[in-house]
Each structure stands twice: as structure tokens, then as C-alpha cells.
Amino acid sequence: MRKLVLSAVIVLLFMFIFRIQISIWANEKNTPVCCPLQPNYGILTPDIYEENFTTVIYTPFDSNVDGYADSVEVAMDVDTTYDGIMNVTVEAFLYDPNGTYVAFNTTSWTINSTEIEWGFVSLYTNSTMPIGNYTVELLLYDDYENLEDERRDEIIFLYPPLMHELAVTSEGLGTTDPAPGLYAFPNGTEV
């Protein structure tokens, strides 16, 4: 019985020490600002390094060769206050002219302190989206999934792919390939 009580006291003491450590690392809203367990160390560490976008370049492009920019490539350079190599992840969201979320993509790459290392992600529109000014939102995460930086920019006037309808019919007993019906093709498609 003594061993059981002693074990319980040790566990409670450990929990008390652990709570003190978390409260030291809490922000003004009293929520912890520490990272998940580090794979090689097995201890909690505070998020003491800062990562941020230093350069972001938006380049519209024509993904379906119809002569109109319908997509955007985002090139990003990210720096960190950590003096070494770190992996980062960016989640990219595309919003149409009405502010409706319409596309998502993600990318990860390795950065080294303040050196220039570019990460790239592309976002695509489709024929159901309106023509107009599109907005990109970027969320930057570090190795431990801490949100480090974010930005939201109205980037460019995009022309989602135009669709054309083709009606295929047959008269009498004739056959067609494709079968009779209504078909939709993106602008620029050879039919």
C-alpha cells in the first residue's frame, strides 16, 4: 500500500511540475505556446523561433492554353530566426471575386536561416468560377505545425476556362462516336 501511495505522490508531483512549465510558456490568453513532442528529444519546447514570408510573387498563367490566365503560381521565400535547417509548410487558398473559397493546395520545403530557398504552389480555377479579381491566402507553418505567418492578397484578374457545348445528333439509323448527346469542352480543345 505504501508503494502505491508513494507512486501516486510521485505522479502528482510530476503533473504539478509539468503544469508549472506549461504556465511559464503560456501567452496572455493563458493558452500554451509550446510545440508537440520533438521526435528525438521527447520533451516539450516553446515556439521560440519565428518564420515569416520575406518575398511572395504571384504569377498568373494559362493552364489550358486558351489564351487567358486562369490560374496562379505562387513563389515564396521564407526566413527563420533559427540558425539552421527547418522544414516549413504553406497552405494556399484561392477565393473568387465574391470571397468564396474555391481552391486549395499545399507545399513543403526546407529553409536555412535567412538564405533564399523558394517554395512554389499553384492554384487553379475551373469553368464554374466567375471572371474577376481573385484573392490568395497563405498560411505558413513550422516543423511543429505552429502557425508562423499569414497573408491575404488580392492578386490578379483571372479568366476561368470557358466551356463550349457540342450537341451530337444522328438521323435515321446512323451511329455516331461519341454517342448522341450534349458534351462540354473547355475553350481551345480540339474536337
Amino acid at position 92, single letter? A
- H helices of the chain, in order, are 2-24
pLDDT of residue 38: 37
Output 17 or 9, whichever has higher pLDDT.
Answer: 9
**C-alpha cell of residue 44:** 516539450
- What tens digit of pLDDT does each residue of 88-105 get? 999 999 999 999 999 999
Which is it for strands 163-168 and 51-61: parallel, antiparallel or unpaired? unpaired
- What is the value of pTM for the model shown? 0.64
Mean residue pLDDT across the chain = 76
Amino acid at position 82, single letter? Y
- Domains belonging to the chain, first-starting first, are 51-158 (2.60.40.10), 162-191 (no CATH)
Q: What angle do CA 169, 162, 74 make, to 5 degrees?
A: 145
- What tens digit of pLDDT does each residue of 31-72 get? 444 433 334 333 334 568 899 999 999 999 998 888 888 899
pLDDT of residue 39: 40
Of the chain, the percentage scoring pLDDT greater than 70 comes to 66
pLDDT of residue 185: 60
- What tens digit of pLDDT does each residue of 97-134 get? 999 999 999 999 999 988 999 999 999 998 888 888 99
Q: Which of 23-27, 114-118, 136-140 has the lowest mean pLDDT?
A: 23-27
- Model confidence at 16, pLDDT cuts 50, 70, 90, reads very low
Helix, strand, coil percentages (3-state) for the chain, rounded to 5, are 10, 45, 40
Peptide bond preceding 178 in cis form (omega within 30 of 0): yes
